[in-house]
Copies of this chain bind each other. A is one copy, B any other.
Amino acid sequence: MRIFSKEEIEKYISVPDLIEDIEKGFLRYSSGTVVVPPVGHMSLEAKRADLHIKYCHIPSEKFFVVKIASYFPENVVHGKSSVQGGVLLFSQSTGELVALFQDEGYMSHVRTAVAGACVAKYLAPKHVEAIGIIGSGTQARMQLEYLQYVLDCKKVYLWARKYENAMALAQDKALKNYQIEVVQSVEEIPACANFIVTTTSSKSALLQAKDIRPGTHITAMGSDSPGKQELDPEILKRASLVVADSLSQCLHCGELSHWVTENDHLPETVKELGAIFKNPELIPSSSNRITVADLTGVAVQDLVIACTIYERAS
């Protein structure tokens, strides 16, 4: 059994390779060849903490993965990562543990940011005027870092609940290729940008349907448990295409969960990410279209990233 520290994991990350690999992972997920049991969950209320367990396997592959990810918000006060846990990779022939990744949530951040880049590759408007980022955490920064691999646009509008956090992110050296403007109100984001990424842990809609211009794409990646919400459900209703990383998960805890209460069956405009990757002709070509990607994080992403790092290291 090999143990990987966060520093070692960083050495083996290649974003362009991961964009390809995770795209293939979603494709296999949506074609039904990945076995993904329901996500396990436990609340640790004394610390307002949460634990999620995601696991899956692809029958023809060498390994299966179990990811234990906890969120302890008070950790930041003590200078520790608020994300804890680990990713475990097991042999599919014998069940033996082959690798433990003590990643402090880094691999989850990477695979989420990569999913955002995969989405941008397929769904970004032909001409991205500006990128709009909502949120100022790790994922906000990593989205911008990884979007460079698939988008040319360098103009960014940024809004966060705390202005000082947005200012700090705007000055982050990792984003020096961008020209970042911090805005005072969230409404300015859809007014200025036609490619928007929401990366918050909000529990109520931040973007309103009335503010979304035709020709806009929105990737919502903050919602990963019931009750979280970043988009007015009306936006999904108005969209020509709503793409879910996992329909079952998004209906349970994604933006879709806030919309479907009105619908008996899923509208034709809702597709799964892997289906879009397989048949890009499903993407409406009109320049006036609104598209939305609802990302909750699927275990196949964890499997792909763990396998990729392990195989590069071996």
Residues of B within 8 A of A53 (CB): 40, 53, 55, 66
A86 lies within 8 A of chain B by Cβ? yes
A70-78, A120-128, A180-188, A301-309 - the one binding chain B: A70-78
A41 lies within 8 A of chain B by Cβ? yes
A95, B86: Cβ atoms closer than 8 Å: no
B75, A94: Cβ atoms closer than 8 Å: yes
**Interface flags, A12-50, vs B, CB<8A=1, else 0:** 000000000000000000000001011011111111010
A72, B97: Cβ atoms closer than 8 Å: no
Using A37-B41, A72-B95, A90-B84 as known contacts, say yes or no to A55 and B64 having CB atoms under 8 A apart: no
Residues of B within 8 A of A80 (CB): 94, 96
A57 lies within 8 A of chain B by Cβ? yes
Interface residues on A, range: 35 or more
Residues of B within 8 A of A88 (CB): 68, 86
For A75, give its contact among B40, B43, B64, B95 (CB under 8 Å). Answer: B95
Q: How far is the CA of A71 from the CA of B90 in the complex (A)?
A: 12
Q: How far is the CA of A45 from the CA of B92 in the complex (A)?
A: 10
A286 lies within 8 A of chain B by Cβ? no
A168 lies within 8 A of chain B by Cβ? no
Q: How far is the CA of A85 from the CA of B66 in the complex (A)?
A: 10
Select from chain B the residue with minimum beta-carbon distance to A82: B95
A95, B49: Cβ atoms closer than 8 Å: yes
Residues of B within 8 A of A56 (CB): 42
Using A51-B55, A55-B42, A92-B46 as known contacts, say yes or no to A97 and B78 having CB atoms under 8 A apart: no
Residues of B within 8 A of A64 (CB): 42, 44, 51
Q: How far is the CA of A90 from the CA of B70 in the complex (A)?
A: 10
Residues of B within 8 A of A86 (CB): 88, 97
A95, B66: Cβ atoms closer than 8 Å: no
B37, A59: Cβ atoms closer than 8 Å: no
Which 4 pairs show the lowest CB-CB distances between chains A and B?
A84-B95, A70-B95, A72-B95, A40-B40
Question: Measuring CB to CB, which residues of chain A are less than 8 angstroms from any residue of chain B?
Answer: 1, 35, 37-38, 40-47, 49, 51, 53, 55-57, 59, 64, 66, 68, 70-72, 75, 78, 80, 84-86, 88, 90, 92-97, 100, 102
What are 29 A-B interface contacts by the 8 Å CB criterion?
A: A35-B43, A35-B44, A37-B42, A42-B64, A44-B57, A44-B59, A44-B64, A44-B95, A45-B59, A46-B59, A46-B92, A47-B92, A47-B93, A47-B95, A49-B95, A51-B66, A53-B55, A66-B68, A68-B88, A70-B90, A72-B93, A80-B96, A84-B97, A85-B90, A85-B95, A86-B88, A86-B97, A97-B102, A100-B100
